[in-house]
Structure 1
Amino acid sequence: MKRREAREKAIQVLFQLENTELTVTEAIEHIVGEESSPFFEQIVQGTVLHMEEIDKSLVEKLENWSLPRLAKIERTILRLAVYEILYTPETPKNVVLNEAIELSKTYGDEKSSRFVNGVLSKYAK
């Protein structure tokens, strides 16, 4: 599984976790079955494990928005991207930003990519 696909599947897993009572393992199995990768496992498990710190960091960067008020898909994409920015220093920040913007174009509405870019660009500084 390539990194782009891993991020896309991770978004699906994390979105599902927010909307169901599934465990992380059940959500992963539902989305990828047996086709996993170490990178995929790391970003899903890491995002879930560090959710409190990620959310706290996001709240500091959001202007005129609260985390619960964000669209679920935007919140999910931001959480995954912030996990990578904060906890995977080997991944260049510009790659994380570009991937998050592309995911928001695919799964969000026409304004999602600009919003995600605006929030994540504060981490690039």
Structure 2
Amino acid sequence: MKRREAREKAIQTLFQLDNSEMNVDEAIGYIVETPLDSFYEQLVRGTAEHLTEVDSEITNKLENWTIDRLPKIERTVLRLAVYELLYNEEVPNRVIMNEAIELCKTFGDEKSGRFVNGVLSKFQ
């Protein structure tokens, strides 16, 4: 699985977690079949494990928004991107930000990408 595909699958999995009472293993099983890709699994498990810290960092960068008021796709993309920015040192920040914008184009709309870009630009 290429990294772009791993991120797309991770967004789908994290979106499932945000919209249900599933645990991480159930959500992973709902989205992908075995064998799992290690990068995908790192993204999903890492984001889920560090969700409190990630949400706190996002909240600190939001203006006139709360994390709970964000549309679900934007919140999910931001969570994944901020997890990577904070905990994945092997990927350059510019790549993480570009991937987040591309994920918004795939799962959201033009406004999603601009909003996510605006929030993520505050992490530089």
CA distance in 1, matches of 2:7, 2:82: 13
Counterpart code for 2:77:
I
Shift of 1:45: 0.3
Counterpart code for 1:57:
E
Counterpart code for 1:20:
S
Structure 1 gaps of 5+ residues are none
- SS state of the match for residue 90, structure 2? coil
Shift of 1:110: 2.4
Structure 2 gaps of 5+ residues are none
- SS state of the match for residue 36, structure 1? coil
Matches within 5 A, 1:20-99: 20-99=20-99
Shift of 1:22: 1.2
Shift of 1:16: 0.3
The normalised TM-score by structure 2 is: 0.97
Which moved further from structure 2: 106-115 or 93-102?
106-115
- SS state of the match for residue 111, structure 1? helix
Shift of 1:33: 1.3
CA distance in 2, matches of 1:5, 1:36: 12
Q: What's the % identity of the aligned pairs?
A: 64
The normalised TM-score by structure 1 is: 0.96
Tell me, yes or no, if structure 1 residue 122 matches structure 2 residue 122: yes
Q: How many residues align?
A: 124
RMSD over aligned Cα atoms: 0.8
Shift of 1:109: 2.2
CA distance in 2, matches of 1:110, 1:96: 18
Q: Any runs of at least 4 consecutive aligned residues in structure 1 with deviations exceeding 2 A, and if so which? A: none
Shift of 1:34: 0.8
